[in-house]
């Protein structure tokens, strides 16, 4: 016996429920950006699904997409590298973990590891 599944606008799956979309309220995608000292940013290295190339990931950013883009652009410029910023995640091409942690702490993101 197969159940029909459909996707919500945010990409999550659910079983058939005809009233679901009527009651669905998406999360506020343009949420207010937390102050720098309250951000809990985590910096890590990753090479999964990237053909063995290492990237530096900055996760945990809470705020608007514009503020995430601005921080991502600052980091990419400082590193002289490419990358992207979306869905609360900043990706910088290359191994810049130590430098990025240092810069973020210097810029007021005190709760960065």
CATH assignment at residue 68 = 3.30.780.10
pLDDT at site 7? 47
Residue 41 burial (CB < 10 Å; 0-12/13-18/19+)? buried
Distance CA 87, CA 55 (A): 16
**Res. 29: pLDDT tops 80:** no
25 occurs within a structural domain: no
**pTM for the full predicted model:** 0.71
44 occurs within a structural domain: yes
- Point out the least confidently predicted range of 2-11, 65-74, 99-108: 2-11
Domain span at residue 69? 36-106
pLDDT at site 36? 87
- How many domains does the chain contain in total? 1
- Of residues 41 and 12, more confidently modeled: 41
Cβ atoms of residues 40 and 104 within 8 Å: no
pLDDT at site 25? 54
pLDDT at site 76? 96
pLDDT tens for residues 32-86?
888 888 899 999 999 888 888 999 999 999 999 999 999 999 999 999 999 999 8
């Amino acid at each position: 016996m197969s159940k029909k599944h459909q996707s919500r606008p945010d990409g999550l799956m659910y079983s058939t429920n005809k009233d679901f979309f009527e009651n669905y309220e998406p999360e506020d995608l343009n949420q207010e950006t937390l102050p720098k000292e309250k951000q809990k940013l985590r910096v890590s290295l990753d090479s999964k699904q990237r053909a063995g190339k290492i990237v530096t990931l900055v996760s945990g950013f809470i705020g608007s997409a514009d503020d995430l883009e601005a921080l991502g652009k600052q980091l990419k410029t400082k590193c002289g590298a490419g990358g992207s910023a979306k869905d609360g995640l900043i990706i910088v091409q290359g191994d810049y973990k130590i430098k990025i942690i240092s810069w973020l702490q210097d810029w007021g993101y005190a709760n960065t590891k």
